[in-house]
A and B are shown apart, each in its own frame.
Chain A
Amino acid sequence: ETGVTQTPRHLVMGMTNKKSLKCEQHLGHNAMYWYKQSAKKPLELMFVYSLEERVENNSVPSRFSPECPNSSHLFLHLHTLQPEDSALYLCASSHSGAGGPETQYFGPGTRLLVL
């Protein structure tokens, strides 16, 4: 496997379900990100982990819970979601260093539908 992978690629869940999205990066990066992309809206940054510590939580509701057990894996735990949470969820990774911004590389995304 190369690059950034995400599973599942598609997910349908009810509002009372609990599910998790998984992201894995094979690029040796040390920062990982969750983004949400809703129709006709720009990508919205949700969470950032650098060196396995959360460094950004962009006012995301608590029904979204991220977890970063190591620098290669990132999870997004979902519970009691709302239909308006239906969107494409994208994971990205980058190398976070002292030399300025680094390019983020994206996974293919998980298309989530909340019924």
Chain B
Amino acid sequence: DQQVKQNSPSLSVQEGRISILNCDYTNSMFDYFLWYKKYPAEGPTFLISISSIKDKNEDGRFTVFLNKSAKHLSLHIVPSQPGDSAVYFCAATDSGTYKYIFGTGTRLKVLA
């Protein structure tokens, strides 16, 4: 049973527009969430995180929103740039454990 789901395997967005990547989770014990970006032939790179005590965290062009009641988080990238083209993974964890549970990833393609 997948505890973290990214239901969209791919997404294409025009340069300059907003990219919205979604992630759903089932385990109500999760209280810390992260987004990673992965380019081909590289390991995942940490992008942004959010604790369950917040509902929004912003870092430059990247904003993560957390809706605890819906067990849903999303990553907004605005404006999208061609260099943002990569696979994006969301991950969730329960504080005090070492286990991150990852989604299957969404491949974002930003068209110039």
Contact = CB atoms under 8 A, between A and B. Distances in A.
B104 A40 contact: yes
Contacts of A108: 41-43
Nearest to B94: A101
B98 A42 contact: no
A16 interface: no
Choose among B32, B44, B93 the residue with the greatest number of A CB atoms under 10 Å from its CB: B44
A43 B104 CA distance: 7
A41 B32 CA distance: 21
Contacts of A41: 104
Interface residues of A, number: 26
A43 B6 CA distance: 13
Given A40-B104, A43-B89, A101-B32, A4 B43 contact: yes
Nearest to A101: B32
A71 to B, nearest CB: 15
Interface of B: 2, 4, 32, 34, 36, 41-46, 49, 51, 89, 91, 93, 95-105
